[in-house]
């Protein structure tokens, strides 16, 4: 049976294809259109999925959409009604969009699919899953567990903002939900807005900023903004927020509570105050998530936990859940955001709707390392790079790995494009920028000369699975870079009192460990474990780097600049290489050095993309 899952029209459109329950392909539309968080109908992603499986739309048995538009509309109307006459401005803005497009999504989807197949039987083939059901399905069905508690938390879907389900075999039963407007995701987004970052993409920055601050305002938040019960359920005091009826996330009362106005985007300096605010909301989030997971573990006595939804991308909180050990095993869907909804919708159709059997007894998950996107054959890569004007050497497999490891050891920044593209927001060694984590200057170089992003943002390490426990306080798999743990005590370097006294971001320049480029100011690191079975090539490079330097760790950051979607094609990779100060590019077996390239092909990438 072939099932195509779709998420679209809000942010991060994506498509995923299941063939007899196996995830054959999954990709986000932004990677093809080069528009970050592209919400459009995922035409390119769908075409890629069909091509990967070698089928046409006529061969697809079902199409599953990841949420229910009418239910969302119901929530919208009831919210306006509850708050009326406040919210008229928001109503005036939102209703025309609904009247023109969103209410007629089914019709729109039908028309789009008819373009592929005029005989498309939309009455029977088009299925809809609820938003949180899609998230929960994406967390449970591909997980390695036969039985698990499934916790999903995000901004909002239709009504649910937090939901708990129990997964057993091919069954997934929702057991409780917290409804809009009470939302942990929206609380975090409110602070994202307040600290001057973009809602729905700047949440990572708030998380990255948190270690520079002290959670001074945690009690204030817990006292005024959110009422958290012992079991982790919560309610927000809506008098501080504006998102239910207004066009901003927070209001004047919110700003008055903290004593400062909303930080203007990009213009205003980040101050210690904003770092303390970030630390505080991060601490509150962790507190809520931990109370939830502890009470769920106690209530149901199930040892496995699966998580998805935007809040599950908060890897600092995930790391704490793992170390808390309320659950023996924790698995987080790598595409935990809305893109993953496409996969969840398809899996809901396969297991829930069609009742197909599911056996999870291998101890491994079904995401295949999340390497589910396009791949390019060597001959194709050479042709594409040649047409783009690139100068490159073609090396053997062994020499490609050796040359890359040598370049890393020589402190060169490398664009690394190999195999299938990752599904989800993280680069996992398929479309990554890799570098030597021991280099004290690498963090600054990568932030300012390659990624063109804020200098406070740390980089993540990828470490050989067998070496993770020697280098970090983690002894388990973290293949999707969704767990944060500290750099191992033996590798840490204590800061002098003078260094301790440095102002937030200045601290980042003090080498705090043997691998300073991937160590945050609080000694934490967002870890990816590299597994030979899912990515032998990336494993090979880091192993070769270890042989040269004794260090089994690489810097791993997504292959893009700030505001750009991660590269997909060899041409995207070459453009990004020529638009930044990357020193090498390795695509398949093609090895490129910046000094060999035609200077006329240099691009200005610094301002090429709208800031995120």
Partner 1 sequence: MAFIAELWAFIKERKKFWLLPVIVVMVLFGGLLVLAQGSAVAPFIYTLF
Residues that bind partner 1 (CB under 8 A): 9-11, 39, 70-72, 74, 76-78, 80-81, 90, 92-104, 106-107, 155-156, 180-181, 186, 199-200, 243-244, 246-249
Q: Select 90 or 462, whichever has its Cβ closest to partner 1.
A: 90
Q: How far is the CB of 322 from partner 1 (least distance, A)?
A: 29
Q: Select 10 or 145, whichever has its Cβ closest to partner 1.
A: 10
Q: Select 102 or 352, whichever has its Cβ closest to partner 1.
A: 102
Instruction: Give phi and psi for 387, each to the nearest 5.
Output: -60, -30
Closest C-alpha among 201, 197, 258, 177 to residue 225: 258
> What is the CA 340 to chain-centroid distance, rounded?
10
Q: Select 22 or 247, whichever has its Cβ closest to partner 1.
A: 247
Q: How far is the CB of 134 from partner 1 (least distance, A)?
A: 15
Closest C-alpha among 362, 319, 311 to residue 139: 311
Q: How far is the CB of 349 from partner 1 (least distance, A)?
A: 19
Q: Is the distance from CB of 289 to CB of 248 less than 8 angstroms? A: no
Closest C-alpha among 413, 458, 415 to residue 559: 415
Q: How far is the CB of 176 from partner 1 (least distance, A)?
A: 19
Q: How far is the CB of 534 from partner 1 (least distance, A)?
A: 33
Instruction: Give phi and psi for 82, each to the nearest 5.
Output: -65, -35
DSSP string across 81-97: HHHTTTTHHHHHHHHHH
Q: How far is the CB of 34 from partner 1 (least distance, A)?
A: 20
Q: Is the distance from CB of 154 to CB of 205 less than 8 angstroms? A: no
Q: Select 163 or 529, whichever has its Cβ closest to partner 1.
A: 163
Q: How far is the CB of 12 from partner 1 (least distance, A)?
A: 11
Q: Is the distance from CB of 566 to CB of 559 less than 8 angstroms? A: yes
Other C-beta atoms closer than 10 Å to the C-beta of 403 total 20
Q: Select 26 or 249, whichever has its Cβ closest to partner 1.
A: 249
Closest C-alpha among 561, 564, 566, 578 to residue 385: 578
* Residue 111, both tokens: 């028309």
Asked, as a colleague might, if the bond just before 85 is cis with ω within 30 of 0, I would say yes
Q: Select 162 or 432, whichever has its Cβ closest to partner 1.
A: 162
Q: How far is the CB of 97 from partner 1 (least distance, A)?
A: 5
Strand, helix or coil at 137? helix
Q: How far is the CB of 200 from partner 1 (least distance, A)?
A: 6
Q: How far is the CB of 70 from partner 1 (least distance, A)?
A: 5
Q: Select 103 or 257, whichever has its Cβ closest to partner 1.
A: 103
Q: Select 246 or 511, whichever has its Cβ closest to partner 1.
A: 246
Other C-beta atoms closer than 10 Å to the C-beta of 373 total 25
**What's the rounded Cα separation, in Å, for the pair 335 and 461?**
19
Other C-beta atoms closer than 10 Å to the C-beta of 324 total 15
Q: How far is the CB of 285 from partner 1 (least distance, A)?
A: 18
Q: How far is the CB of 77 from partner 1 (least distance, A)?
A: 6
Q: How far is the CB of 156 from partner 1 (least distance, A)?
A: 6
Q: Select 180 or 471, whichever has its Cβ closest to partner 1.
A: 180
Q: Select 81 or 359, whichever has its Cβ closest to partner 1.
A: 81
Q: Is the distance from CB of 484 to CB of 524 less than 8 angstroms? A: yes
Q: Is the distance from CB of 49 to CB of 15 less than 8 angstroms? A: yes
For 366, counting Cβ atoms within 10 Å of its Cβ (0-12 exposed, 13-18 middle, 19+ buried), the class is: middle
**What's the rounded Cα separation, in Å, for the pair 469 and 487?**
10
Q: Select 78 or 256, whichever has its Cβ closest to partner 1.
A: 78
**What's the rounded Cα separation, in Å, for the pair 272 and 285?**
20
Q: Select 58 or 99, whichever has its Cβ closest to partner 1.
A: 99
Other C-beta atoms closer than 10 Å to the C-beta of 282 total 24
Q: How far is the CB of 267 from partner 1 (least distance, A)?
A: 18
Give residues with Cβ within 8 angstroms of 203, minimum separation 6.
188, 189, 192, 197, 310, 313, 314
Q: Is the distance from CB of 218 to CB of 210 less than 8 angstroms? A: no
Give residues with Cβ within 8 angstroms of 113, minimum separation 6.
57, 63, 120, 122, 126
**What's the rounded Cα separation, in Å, for the pair 323 and 309?**
20
**What's the rounded Cα separation, in Å, for the pair 537 and 524?**
27
Q: Is the distance from CB of 284 to CB of 221 less than 8 angstroms? A: yes
Q: Select 114 or 383, whichever has its Cβ closest to partner 1.
A: 114
For 518, counting Cβ atoms within 10 Å of its Cβ (0-12 exposed, 13-18 middle, 19+ buried), the class is: buried
């Amino acid at each position: 049976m072939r099932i195509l899952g779709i998420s679209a029209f809000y942010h991060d459109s994506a498509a995923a294809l299941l063939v007899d329950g196996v995830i054959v392909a999954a990709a986000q539309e932004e990677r093809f259109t080069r528009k970050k968080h592209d919400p459009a109908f995922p035409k390119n992603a769908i075409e890629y999925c069909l091509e990967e499986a070698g089928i046409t739309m006529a061969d697809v048995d079902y199409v599953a959409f990841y949420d229910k538009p009418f239910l969302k509309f119901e929530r919208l109307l009831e919210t306006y009604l509850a708050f009326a006459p406040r919210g008229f401005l928001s109503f005036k803005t939102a209703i025309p969009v609904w009247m023109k497009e969103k209410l007629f999504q089914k019709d729109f989807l039908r028309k789009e699919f008819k373009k592929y197949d005029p005989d498309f039987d939309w009455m029977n083939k088009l299925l809809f899953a609820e938003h949180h059901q899609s998230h929960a399905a994406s967390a449970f069905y591909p997980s390695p567990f036969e039985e698990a508690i499934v916790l999903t938390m995000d901004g909002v879907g239709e009504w649910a903002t937090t939901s708990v389900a129990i997964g057993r075999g091919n069954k997934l039963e929702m057991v409780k939900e917290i409804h809009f407007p009470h939302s942990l995701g929206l609380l975090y987004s409110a602070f994202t807005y307040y600290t001057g970052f973009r809602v729905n993409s700047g949440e990572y920055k708030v998380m990255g900023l948190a270690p520079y601050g002290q959670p001074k305002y945690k009690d204030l938040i817990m006292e005024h903004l959110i009422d958290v019960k012992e079991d982790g359920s919560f309610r927000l005091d809506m008098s501080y927020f504006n998102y239910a009826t207004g066009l901003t996330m927070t209001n004047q009362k919110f700003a008055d509570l903290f004593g400062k106005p909303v930080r203007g985007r990009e213009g205003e300096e980040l101050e210690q105050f904003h770092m303390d605010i970030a630390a505080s909301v991060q601490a509150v989030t962790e507190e809520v998530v931990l109370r939830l997971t502890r009470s769920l573990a106690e209530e149901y006595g199930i040892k496995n936990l699966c998580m998805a939804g935007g809040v599950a991308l908060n890897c600092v909180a995930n790391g704490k859940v793992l170390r808390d050990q309320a659950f023996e095993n924790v698995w987080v869907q790598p595409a935990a955001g809305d893109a993953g909804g496409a996969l969840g919708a398809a899996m809901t159709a396969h297991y829930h709707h069609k009742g197909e059997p599911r056996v999870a007894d291998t101890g491994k998950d079904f995401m295949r390392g999340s390497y589910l996107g396009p791949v390019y054959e060597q001959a194709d890569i050479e042709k594409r790079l040649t047409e783009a004007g690139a100068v490159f050497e073609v090396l053997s497999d062994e020499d490609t790995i050796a040359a890359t490891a040598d370049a890393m050891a020589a402190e060169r920044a490398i664009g690394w494009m190999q195999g299938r593209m990752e599904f989800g927001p993280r680069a996992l060694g398929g479309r990554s920028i890799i570098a030597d984590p021991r280099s004290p200057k690498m963090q600054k170089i990568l932030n300012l000369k390659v990624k063109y992003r804020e200098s406070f943002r740390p980089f993540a390490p990828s470490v050989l699975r067998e070496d993770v426990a020697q280098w970090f306080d983690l002894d388990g798999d973290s293949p999707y870079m969704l767990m944060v743990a500290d750099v191992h005590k033996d590798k840490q370097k204590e800061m002098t009192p003078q260094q301790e006294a440095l102002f937030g971001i200045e601290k980042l320049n003090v080498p705090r460990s043997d691998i300073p480029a991937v160590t945050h100011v609080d000694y934490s690191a967002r870890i990816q474990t590299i597994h030979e079975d899912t990515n032998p090539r990336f494993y090979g490079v880091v192993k070769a780097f270890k042989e040269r330097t004794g260090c089994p760790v690489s810097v791993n950051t997504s292959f893009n600049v700030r505001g750009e979607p991660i590269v997909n094609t060899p041409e995207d990779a070459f453009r990004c290489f020529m638009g930044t100060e990357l020193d090498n590019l390795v695509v398949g077996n093609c090895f490129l050095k910046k000094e060999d390239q035609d200077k006329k092909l240099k691009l200005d990438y610094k301002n090429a993309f709208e800031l995120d």
